[in-house]
Amino acid sequence: MEIKIFFLRYVQSLPDLFGNEVATDGTQMLKTIMKNDFKNRKTLTFVNPRNGKHYSRHYGMMAQGGMAVINVGEFVDGNFNYAIVGINLSCRKYPPYVAIFCHNKAMHNVDMIADMVKQSMNWGLSENNISVVFEPCTERIYWEEDFVHSYLKGMADRPFNPMNDFGFEMLEEKFEAVGNEVMNNKRKSDNLLDYVHPSVNNKEKLVHWLIIQEKGKMTPKDIMRPVRFLQDKKMLYRPTMIAFNKVCHKEGLISVSSFNDYTNLAKDLFVNDEAYKGLAEQFSNAF
């Protein structure tokens, strides 16, 4: 898989009186944001701008001298699915840039990852009235002469190196996921209420909302859309098909393989799905 590079350009968040972009410099502020994020003073948030899904982040290389490597991803079914994001703000040889290497097939959409990183940076810069623009790099960056790019090339050349996953073992997300997996393996309950996340105050109301959403749905994608929505919002663990059908009565309308595909969080099957996006408003109105 290739390493894709984006140069950073800064503009003021608001245009001038004539609607034109106003160039500015946000490099120093972005360096401070990275330092604060690394020290957990004020963390960057990585959210898929297309479906609102949240991802964890772990520093593969600590933020120093305007350079950092961040692994952005999630723990799914015993695997770490992530992309490696190199950030170089040192301006020593090249302009500020972000380099993205899709380490796992589950995180293969470079443009989505770039949009997510840009969005996270812009949230951090917003209080300074600065926005960052990503511009695809068309020139060659010599990895031998650039530390961040050299680091990413090393990861690309050693895709199965177990050290690539080092640090993800300490993610809180992993411990929660492992706990859920053990709990579900012990039970495999056929009661859908058992799969509602403990943080949900009114489990019955959540299941009732799901039942309402399922009324009249006949195709696999329409049937599974609200289920996956609740999974992505971390309100519903992956249920069994038996538990789902006992409540929503979709026997014969969806196969076991389709059910498993749609409830597999490593598969993003609702990208740019307008009906999926509309569920957020419906859910907000109901709760």
Confidence of residue 7 (pLDDT cuts 50, 70, 90): very high
More confident residue, 73 or 141: 73
Give one word for 52, left, alpha or beta, with left for phi > 0 and alpha for psi -120 to 50: left
Q: Does residue 194 register a pLDDT over 80?
A: yes
Helices 220-232 and 203-214: crossing angle in degrees, nearest 10, is 160
- CB distance 218 to 252 below 8 Å: no
Confidence of residue 151 (pLDDT cuts 50, 70, 90): low
Q: Does residue 8 register a pLDDT over 70?
A: yes
pLDDT in tens, 220-268: 999 999 999 999 888 899 999 999 999 999 999 999 989 999 998 878 8
For residue 171, what pLDDT is reported?
Answer: 47
- Contacts of residue 32, defined as CB under 8 A and 6 or more positions apart, other chains included, come to none
Q: What is the pTM of this model?
A: 0.56
